Copies of this chain bind each other. A is one copy, B any other.
């Protein structure tokens, strides 16, 4: 039984319509009246009912954020960034965590954000034709981070370019035998980021092999599931190979951490025996002296938030995706190979 618009109206001595207008700052209300209304509202501690307002206007003051995982470093940072800018704009954030293919299927089947949000943000998730259509059918702006979708604004980094730079660094150090830890097909949830990093790896590694006049080692491409333990296993696989790589490029720092562990357990020293290069610049990368590709994760989130706000107010969609800069951070895990 909280107060309603009418209570405020009565207290301020005006009609409900005027209160509504005054509270929302709509023009057409005399200054004095507005002040009186505001005072009355403050006195009663009144706040409009989002449900009623939403029913009347069709707007919800809420955006839906769809994430594959919330408890991974990358995603939690992005969410944090988005949340910050939305909160400052007075917009609430409805969080939907997919988790896996089943969760994803359920989400799109039930589609809980129907009529619940004014805009949607999708993180790192390439959409199927049907999913995109479904999302767009909401008639709400769609923004993506890390993927590009027709009809959506997007922010991201140049995954391919960044990975090529990373690989070139290893090559320049003198490495010719470079392993990769990423994701093996089928990639969970259809992520394309791992594929882009893999493609960059291949491009550089295969070029090196061509120069050396030999075939690329097929076994050098391993999957680590973007987790520490996955990375550890993948490194184990790499170490079991007849021809061992002298350097490893991991598509995420967390996998690189796992690789470091596997190496340590195997009694190998980094970077003396094997160089390791990661991707992300995770909080702990510095701690572990991991060389890596830094990407501005918090900024990605904030930028996405700003894109949402922009789309919410003017609705225009940017023609090209915003690409944020990455940079190679060299620490102690990469060095020239030692001849063995």
Contact = CB atoms under 8 A, between A and B. Distances in A.
A41 to B, nearest CB: 13
Interface string A3-21: 0000000000000000000
Interface string A260-293: 1100000000000000000000011011100000
Interface size class of A (residues with CB under 8 A): 35 or more
- In the A-B complex, the 7 residue pairs with the closest CB atoms: A51-B54, A76-B76, A71-B80, A51-B55, A71-B76, A83-B97, A70-B80
Contact of A115 (B47, B70, B94, B286): B47
B83 A116 contact: no
A228 to B, nearest CB: 6
Interface stretch (A25-33, A84-92, A179-187): A84-92
Given A51-B54, A71-B77, A87 B115 contact: no
B95 A83 contact: yes
A190 B313 CA distance: 37
A125 B333 CA distance: 39
A218 interface: no
Nearest to A116: B50
A294 interface: no
Nearest to A75: B76
Nearest to A72: B76
A111 interface: yes
A191 interface: no
A117 to B, nearest CB: 10
A114 interface: yes
A143 to B, nearest CB: 17
B93 A94 contact: yes
A46 to B, nearest CB: 10
Contacts of A70: 70, 76, 79-80, 83
Interface string A60-83: 101000000111110111011001
Given A71-B77, A75-B76, A261-B286, 17 more contacts: A2-B114, A49-B115, A51-B52, A52-B55, A70-B80, A70-B83, A79-B95, A80-B97, A83-B96, A83-B97, A87-B97, A87-B103, A90-B112, A92-B96, A228-B284, A260-B287, A261-B287
A122 to B, nearest CB: 16
A245 interface: no
A227 to B, nearest CB: 8
A116 B92 contact: yes
Nearest to A98: B87
A99 interface: yes
B110 A90 contact: yes
21 contacts: A47-B114, A51-B51, A51-B52, A51-B60, A70-B76, A70-B80, A70-B83, A71-B77, A75-B76, A83-B96, A84-B97, A87-B97, A87-B103, A90-B112, A92-B113, A93-B94, A94-B94, A228-B284, A254-B283, A260-B287, A288-B288
